[in-house]
Structure 1
């Protein structure tokens, strides 16, 4: 596909990125970093809460938006990236901030503080239904959830840039599982993402269909599989540096190595392990090191003043 970003944007009706007003909230000081609550409005006027992590004692070297996982836990969002709840190997906010990066971790729609019925990190029986409704109500209106999710993602990157005043060349996106799918599509359509780390989220439509794995609800776009496949989306990110992390025993990245092999160019760094979906220490550490390395590489490329 010659111009997937334009084609997908037009298919979704996705608007271009815009400046986003935001409000700063409470700041918590921690070992090596600060965590600040940030709030801003989405496309539909909805409130989007996020955590902004910044290194203590120095200006950020670069920045990354980290999209949280799904894991059937709608009561966990930004707080899992913060290491406050859930899996400690999802706590990319503190890990990256301690290495000198600014990190924005927003709640995805229908997660944590963006649930319709409750807020916070306690589960509610109808959490899953809110997520389903976010897709189905939009389909009733001739709209799709992907447009909303990608617009949210673009706004998150805008807020990161505005809140930190970082050089646009020094920011990217990352995520595991649901967050990985978000990072994959976001980086493909938004050239401001100067690098992308995609974990547990690269698998062809054919393999997912054949194995009954299913798709994320925001991929429920009529005709999407006739238009593109996963390798097309990956290709659209190039030549920007991209890391693809996968497990051979992970149904959500079953054929990630084959998908990557279809992509022309050498912009992809691939880490494949013979394990399952949940991150382990090896993959967590590798993701952190790769992201820090991309920012360091960008600094080397910048002309001296």
Structure 2
């Protein structure tokens, strides 16, 4: 059933399989315990996707993570927030994970930071929101979706991370908070190369969001999606790969995450639920870093192969 959900999503979105992705390396900067290098590669529409590659300075990377940045209404922040240059210090996963021995790729999502049409960099522009809206609406006019583009971008990011960092493909995963969490949720469901996934502030049923009038991300604006699946179905499609679901009881974007997780069969999910709001804090940030570092550097293939869910495949 879980395979069927992932395959159905791929077919519904007309999402092409992952492909090798050529990339170009830019300037590298050394920091305390890690290096950061600008990477650029092409998307399926020929668009340039800029990203930061973080590498541990004193050792070979033992595993890797693609980190998808948050939204927060700040389209001028993308990879630079994951780098700790701007925004919340509790989004700076690149340096924290690289210091723990992991390679990290942090790409800009479409219409964020250096992927805005009018300006690049980390200064806001009046056109930012409209550009994000247009990225969805023009695709819908063409019978396409922003989700297909976003997930194709995500697949390419994972391909680039594996090749650019020279990683064992069995030790790579994905993570994201809020908008990045939605990307991680759906990406893990459709791409089995994601060996583990951290989904933060992005697990909530469609019914709860509709009842509480919580906004739906434009990324999820796929006609008929809620008639086919709900959030627990997408989570189920990740099984049996280890998954961390981080949520706050006071967070409207993960209001009923505990109830959603309870509907999912299997023991592959680790749940971290706190009585807090949406924005990450020190405790959740540290817990996410610890969990990712553990799962990127452990032999989880043995656990996955031995799981009941894998035995049914």
Same fold (TM over 0.5): yes
| SS class of match (1:182) | helix
Question: Is 1:49 aligned with 2:64?
Answer: no
Report if aligned partners of 2:170, 2:301 keep a CA contact under 8 Å in 1. no
Look up the match of 1:58. Answer: 59
Partner Cα distance (2:164, 2:283) in 1: 31
Change (3 A) 1:108 1:29: same
Report if aligned partners of 2:71, 2:179 keep a CA contact under 8 Å in 1. yes
Deviation track 1:207-243 (CA, whole Å, cap 9, x = no partner) reads 0011000211010000000011000000000100000
Q: 1:295: Cα distance to partner?
A: 1.9
Look up the match of 1:221. Answer: 222
Taking the TM superposition and a 5 Å limit, the aligned residue runs for 1:165-204 are 165-204=166-205
Look up the match of 1:110. Answer: 111
| SS class of match (1:180) | helix
Deviation track 1:61-96 (CA, whole Å, cap 9, x = no partner) reads 000000000000000000000000000110000000
Taking the TM superposition and a 5 Å limit, the aligned residue runs for 1:1-305 are 1-2=1-2, 3-298=4-299
Partner Cα distance (2:139, 2:300) in 1: 42
Q: 1:300: Cα distance to partner?
A: 9.4
| SS class of match (2:277) | coil
* RMSD between aligned residues: 1.1
Taking structure 2 as the reference length, the TM-score comes to 0.95
Partner Cα distance (1:125, 1:92) in 2: 28
- Number of aligned residue pairs: 302
| SS class of match (2:298) | helix
Partner Cα distance (1:103, 1:254) in 2: 29
| SS class of match (1:218) | helix
Q: 1:296: Cα distance to partner?
A: 2.8
| SS class of match (2:70) | coil
Q: 1:126: Cα distance to partner?
A: 1.0
Runs of 5+ in structure 2 lacking a partner?
Answer: 304-313
| SS class of match (2:161) | helix
Partner Cα distance (1:132, 1:83) in 2: 27
Partner Cα distance (1:62, 1:297) in 2: 9
Q: 1:299: Cα distance to partner?
A: 7.5
Change (3 A) 1:299 1:193: closer
Look up the match of 2:310. Answer: none
Deviation track 1:5-41 (CA, whole Å, cap 9, x = no partner) reads 1101010000000000000000010000000000000
| SS class of match (1:237) | coil
Partner Cα distance (1:265, 1:153) in 2: 26
Taking structure 1 as the reference length, the TM-score comes to 0.98
